[in-house]
């Protein structure tokens, strides 16, 4: 079986690919474990970090918004598609047309190419808690409706509905995961409104200054990279009947204030690390963040076997082990 990962050179896509190659097998929606013969990464650019030398791993670059480009990625051996490619929150808000092309039309292109195979491949969509917004209860339950207040959230909500409908028609075996903010991301800050949630941990651990654009009392719904990758693997391997008619699930996470995140950083790396954080309010970022929910009761996600991190200190320690070679600047 070939696995296709759009947005494959990104943080989660790369880690997911390496995990699948290491496992060597992936169960399909019928519960049949199949060997992973090939993993194709598709993205708009080549990766910043070289890919490992593995004959099963290949890279393709192009525009997810172009139907012909996407269709050319598919062969009859594609059994699972992880659709991670996206213009992130602030980027989609600043460039409406680009957000529509990548986040909505890109999803439609992936679904149409999957449909054309005639084999109903598994399609796992990376969605977001940005699908919620407006007047929300203090705790979001599984039955709360989607009311996005950003272009990114609206595009993700529409993509979820497409995955549901293509699955209902039998064109694909779709699943959509509403991800919390995933931390800690390596590399440089991106255009996500939540990029600071990684920066305030990553930069201090590298001996660099970080800017936090929101106040210490700001809450966030968080998930580690390890747990996110585990969730994508599990989402593909759950039998189709476990999902029923609703192919979307909100993943479990943990709620932490920025103050608690910084305290956890100090517990792991000391006061010198926390002293590298500078507080500088950004009204544009704050307006976006204010529209995101921060507390959930993800009963369905827990019932399906998805799990969250226990402590934020564990999230930081995992980043140090996985991305910094076990070392940080004290």
Annotated catalytic residues are 152
**SS3 of 292, please?**
coil
Cα gap 283→225, rounded to integer Å:
28
Cα gap 230→190, rounded to integer Å:
23
Closest CA to 268 of 213, 227, 324: 324
**Four-residue CA torsion sign, 194, 198, 201, 202:** negative
Cα gap 293→290, rounded to integer Å:
8
Contact 330, 269 (CB under 8 A): yes
Contacts of residue 1, defined as CB under 8 A and 6 or more positions apart, other chains included, come to 26, 28, 34, 35, 36, 37, 77, 78, 79, 80
Omega before 184 cis (within 30°)?
A: yes
Residue 84 parent element (H or E): none
Residue 169 parent element (H or E): none
* Residue 172, token pair as written in the block: 């694909």
- DSSP letter string over 215-234? -TT-EEEEEEHHHHHHHHHH
């Amino acid at each position: 079986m070939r696995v296709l990962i759009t947005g494959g050179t990104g943080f989660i896509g790369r880690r997911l690919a390496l995990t699948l190659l290491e496992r060597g097998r992936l169960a399909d929606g019928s519960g049949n474990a199949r060997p992973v013969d090939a993993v194709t990464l598709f993205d708009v650019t080549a990766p910043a970090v070289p890919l490992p030398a593995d004959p099963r791993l290949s890279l393709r670059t192009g525009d997810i918004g172009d139907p012909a480009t996407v269709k050319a990625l598919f062969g009859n051996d594609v059994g699972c598609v992880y659709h991670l490619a996206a213009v992130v929150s602030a980027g989609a808000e600043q460039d409406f047309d680009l957000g529509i092309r990548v986040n909505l039309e890109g999803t439609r292109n992936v679904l149409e190419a999957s449909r054309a195979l005639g084999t109903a491949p598994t399609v796992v969509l990376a969605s977001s808690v940005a699908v919620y917004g407006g007047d929300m209860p203090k705790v979001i339950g599984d039955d709360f409706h989607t009311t996005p207040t950003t272009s990114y959230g609206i595009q993700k909500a529409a993509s979820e509905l497409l995955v549901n409908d293509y699955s209902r028609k039998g064109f694909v075996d779709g699943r959509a995961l509403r991800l919390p903010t995933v931390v800690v991301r390596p590399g440089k800050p991106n255009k996500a409104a939540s990029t600071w949630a990684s920066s305030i941990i990553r930069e201090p651990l590298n001996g660099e200054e970080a800017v936090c654009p929101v106040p210490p009392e700001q809450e966030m719904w968080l998930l580690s990279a390890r747990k996110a990758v585990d969730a994508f693997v599990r989402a593909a391997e759950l039998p189709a009947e476990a999902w029923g008619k609703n192919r979307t699930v909100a993943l479990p996470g943990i709620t932490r204030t920025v103050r608690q995140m910084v305290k956890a950083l100090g517990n792991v790396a000391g006061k010198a690390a926390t002293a590298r954080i500078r507080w500088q309010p950004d009204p544009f970022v704050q307006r976006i963040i204010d529209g995101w929910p921060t507390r959930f009761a993800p009963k369905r996600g827990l019932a399906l076997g998805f799990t969250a991190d226990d402590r934020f200190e564990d999230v930081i320690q995992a980043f140090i082990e996985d991305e910094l070679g076990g070392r940080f600047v004290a």
